[in-house]
Structure 1
Amino acid sequence: MIHKYFTEFRIETMIAIIVLSTFTISIVFNWLMRRFVKKTLVEHHKDVTAYLFMKHISTAIIYIIGIAFALIQIPAFKTIGHTLLAGAGVLSLVAGLASQQALSNIMSGILIVIFKPFKINDKITLRGTFTGTVEDINLRQVVLRDVENNRIIIPNSVISNDLLVNAHLGDTRNCRYIDIGIGYTSNTELALEIMKDEVAKHPLHIDSRTPEDIENNVPLVTARVTALGDSAVNLKVAAWAKDSADGYVLYCDLLQSIKKRFDTENIEIPFPQRSVTIAK
């Protein structure tokens, strides 16, 4: 009889301890989550939806595990307790499988920070389509800001496994090629000199020559005939700027100034023409 009462008292005590521990863990966990959400997210005006969702899921798992351990202490409910623990295990497995992509993004983000294929304020192009300045690198994604001030969100696992162009890696100088076709009857030598002159006198153009090039009298700007097309002689000149932003302005300005000089010197830039014959 005494043994029976002692056993029942032990079971009741264990159940009380488990229930109390479950409530304590739940309260502490929710307090920590609320503090994290308030300090880290709300004050910085970030979205709290995902964190609140995870808080509810985690709280439910805590209670399921606590109730399961309490039921295991009662012989008649031991099977139910094991079933609940198995259910919690399934939930954990599902959560683990669902978080594989998140873990992949985290690891990719860490590798990006370590090996630095790009960094904040670098201008990169992904897949030849998405171009922007790196605004943020976090554990899940990279945020690019394009020229229209849109944000391009790219998961870390995607950007770390794809080809990209970094305009600022190592050397920030930017080379812009200006291709212009002129008519076959135009003065080719004069057109080449005009192109070189317009590039050389532009304030954003920089000298990209090495000391060895200067010593060997390599020209500051080089322009060449690149092709004899169907209706035009194709010319190309290279213009260098200190970075891609200046390179874009340099390119646009040179298109305008070269066109103006060509008009003054009567150098023709041919355009497609079509003859239409109407049969009677």
Structure 2
Amino acid sequence: MDILKTINELGKGTWLKYGLIETIVNMLMFLLIAYFLRRLCTRYIQKHVKVNAKFVNRIVKITLYTIAIYACLSLLTPFNDVLGKVWGSAGIIAVVLGFAAQESMGNFVNGILITTFKPFKIGDLVKVNNGEYEGYVVDISLRDTVIQTYENTKVIIPNSTMNKAVLENVSLNNNAKANFLTLDISYESDIDRAMEIIREEIKKHPDYQDGRSEQDKANHTEEVVIRLTSFNDSSITLRATVYSQSNAQGFAMLCDLRLAIKKRFDKEGIDFPYPHRTVTFKEPREKD
């Protein structure tokens, strides 16, 4: 016991606020409290926070451990002396840090705004600045937002840029996603039969969804709307509106439909136009 008392007296009143053993115990206690509080907060966030839970969990973790480290350092006498001088010049330091970390703080604040107002969340399919970047949101950190593109690359965009960008959140649409299937047929082809084939193939596809509202169904609106959109030099353009559950599913469905419709057109004599060139050879003139 005398040995413990002797060890505990080391540094007391000089560089330690309390004894050595007391300081170590208190530091461990602060860190353990922060650890268990973080575990409890993580469980609560996972159960009750449905949007951007990872971002909220990071903020809670940083806050708890910052408080715990501050509490540990406050047990050291030199830290308290330095802290008193720091508080005396807090205004100047705040201005300097504000200028130095202006961009970082801006990204942090914009990250909180994104989490609060929820223009998008992790897992959403988004298009940034009219399709400049397009993909799924895989992470929202304290500094930036990470988007995974269709090419399986990751685009890292600062939160301040993301919060100011023109953003299309495809996932916010709870209804079916509209896709356009555009096909050109020759002028000699049977337009009515071509439309009928397109409509049949669309309805047969397993990923196709009926995008009509209840009012449209009551008004007997056509399930698959096909329109003639333009007369071209050697073709007529038909466009069908096709609905699917998601953008990615819609892309795959359009690819399948192009193949199926091409086979049906070949069987029923409906031609896809292709460039023709007529070459005329002039006979040489006879000399007089």
TM-score range, shorter chain: 0.5 to 0.7
Task: For 1:1-280, list aligned pairs within 5 A.
Answer: 93-127=95-129, 128-274=131-277
Match of 1:59 in 2: none
Shift of 1:105: 0.8
8 Å Cα contact 1:19-1:66 kept in structure 2: no
Letter in 2 for 1:152: V
For residues 138 and 211 of structure 1, the distance between their equivalents in structure 2, rounded to whole angstroms, comes to: 41
For residues 165 and 133 of structure 2, the distance between their equivalents in structure 1, rounded to whole angstroms, comes to: 12
Flag the 1:94–1:202 CA change in 2: closer, same or farther, 3 A: same
Task: Give the TM-score of the pair, scaled to structure 1.
Answer: 0.67
Percent identity for Structure 1 against Structure 2: 36
Shift of 1:96: 2.4
For residues 91 and 277 of structure 1, the distance between their equivalents in structure 2, rounded to whole angstroms, comes to: 85
Flag the 1:115–1:231 CA change in 2: closer, same or farther, 3 A: same
8 Å Cα contact 1:120-1:135 kept in structure 2: yes
For residues 121 and 219 of structure 1, the distance between their equivalents in structure 2, rounded to whole angstroms, comes to: 34
> After superposition, what is the alpha-carbon deviation per residue over 1:223-258, rounded to whole angstroms, capped at 9, x for unaligned?
121111122111011111112222111111111111
| SS of match in other structure, 1:168 | helix
Q: Which runs of no fewer than 5 residues in structure 2 stay unpaired?
A: 1-12, 18-22, 39-77
Flag the 1:91–1:221 CA change in 2: closer, same or farther, 3 A: same
Q: Which runs of no fewer than 5 residues in structure 1 stay unpaired?
A: 1-16, 22-26, 41-62, 71-84
8 Å Cα contact 1:122-1:134 kept in structure 2: yes
For residues 114 and 277 of structure 2, the distance between their equivalents in structure 1, rounded to whole angstroms, comes to: 54
> After superposition, what is the alpha-carbon deviation per residue over 1:132-171, rounded to whole angstroms, capped at 9, x for unaligned?
1111112211111112221111111001101011111142
For residues 275 and 20 of structure 1, the distance between their equivalents in structure 2, rounded to whole angstroms, comes to: 98
Give me the CA root mean square deviation: 3.8
| SS of match in other structure, 1:160 | helix
